[in-house]
Amino acid sequence: MAAARAMLDRIHPTFPNEKGDDNVYILGSIGAHNIVITGLREGTYGATAATVTAFNMRHSYPSVKVCFLSGIAGCVPDPHDIRLGDVIVADPTASYGGVLQYDRQQRNCRPCQTPDIVLRTLASLKAKHRHRGSDIPIYQQEAMERHMHLHKLVQYPGGNADQLFATESNHVPGLPTYNRSDLSSVRKRPRRPDNRPRVFYGLVASGGMLLKDAAERDAFARKSGAICFEMEAAGILDILPCVVIRGVCDYADSHKNDHWQGYAAMVAAAYTKEFLSVLPSHGV
């Protein structure tokens, strides 16, 4: 919630929750939009926890029109060259509503009807990013200048900390994440000209288990076209219209670590603010 809170233009007083709602809320505004921020309780994760959180929020704040699910996720690096610190946004396709539920079988998530103005803004922002990139760094910088105490938590880890291992390389439990034997399996990729986050639009897979298997990642991606794996979206889509926004913190393989989580959360929050900055306040 810290990254999302850092994006607020103003913070508003909170109100007592409705009976039975133990969510923690932060109220504020971004431009002309009133914002309610909440998150899963410490130590909880997955679709069930997300469903409870969204249901409670809908009960305490029934005027909420759309949810921006901003957070972190693992990505499918190929064939789009997605890297750590990039942003992935669920994009509805002809076959799927932007999110595909995966467990023992894959199922298309049927989301609540998203307001047309939100979908039009998504399409407009997608076109803008294709031609001239995003304004994520601007919103990151503004947030950092206002909240210097967050710097260590959300700072860019550096390109050298972005290591993509061969699919067949499995991390040995108990050893440091990047040990010498692991490094022999690191794939060589061309260096990007800058460290600006790239934004990718596509199908997000949402499941009940943390994916830590590169072979399973690649097989499911080939079958479904998914470019991202996360754990909460499937639990929210039938409660609230939702735009799923994920900062990439790992490659959904056995080499996971938490080095990129803070930065990934910040870039996802910055994209959310960019979206809200161009979303008209009427018609939502």
Give residue 97's pLDDT.
72
Nearest partner of 9 among 35, 33, 29, 37, judged by Cα: 29
In the block, residue with structure tokens 């938490």: 258
How many angstroms separate the CA atoms of 161 and 83, rounded?
11
Residue located via tokens 């039009």: 120
The pLDDT assigned to 180 comes to 47
Report the largest interatomic distance among the alpha carbons of the chain, rounded to a whole angstrom: 56
C-alpha span between 266 and 147 (Å, rounded)? 12
- Which pLDDT belongs to residue 233? 93
Q: Where would I find the beta strands (DSSP E) of the chain? A: 10-12, 26-30, 33-37, 67-75, 87-90, 99-102, 106-108, 199-207, 226-230, 242-250
Q: Per residue in 37-95, pLDDT tens?
A: 999 988 888 889 999 999 999 999 999 999 999 999 999 999 999 999 999 999 976 56
Q: What is the pLDDT of residue 267?
A: 98
Residues in Cβ contact with 191 at an 8 Å cutoff, skipping those fewer than 6 apart: 159
**Four-residue CA torsion sign, 33, 115, 50, 214:** negative
The model's confidence at residue 166, banded by pLDDT at 50, 70 and 90, is: confident
Does the pLDDT at position 203 exceed 60?
A: yes
Task: Give the pLDDT confidence score for residue 152 in this predicted structure.
Answer: 85
pLDDT computed for residue 62 by the predictor: 96
Confidence of residue 204 (pLDDT cuts 50, 70, 90): very high
Strands, E, within 22-66: which ranges? 26-30, 33-37
Amino acid at 35: I
Residue 274's nearest CA partner among 14, 30, 13 is 30
pLDDT exceeds 70 at position 270? yes
Distance of CA 7 to the CA centre of its chain: 15
How far is Cα 226 from Cα 203, in angstroms, rounded to an integer? 5
Tens of pLDDT, residues 170-199: 655 555 555 544 666 788 889 999 999 999
What confidence category does residue 106 fall into, taking pLDDT thresholds of 50, 70 and 90? Answer: low
**Nearest partner of 238 among 99, 116, 103, judged by Cα:** 99
State the average pLDDT over residues 268-276.
Answer: 98
Give the pLDDT confidence score for residue 93 in this predicted structure.
Answer: 66
Structure tokens, 206: 């949402």
User: Which tens digit of pLDDT belongs to each residue from 247-267?
Assistant: 999 999 988 888 999 999 999
If one counts every other C-beta atom within 10 angstroms of the C-beta of residue 36, the result is 17
pLDDT score at 109: 64
197 CB-near residues (< 8 Å, 6+ apart): 85, 86, 87, 134, 136, 137, 247, 267
pLDDT above 80 (res 113): no
Mind listing the pLDDT tens digit for each residue in 206-239? 988 888 889 999 999 999 899 999 999 999 988 9
Work out whether strand 26-30 and strand 10-12 pair parallel, antiparallel, or are unpaired. antiparallel
Domains of the chain by start residue, with CATH: 68-278 (3.40.50)
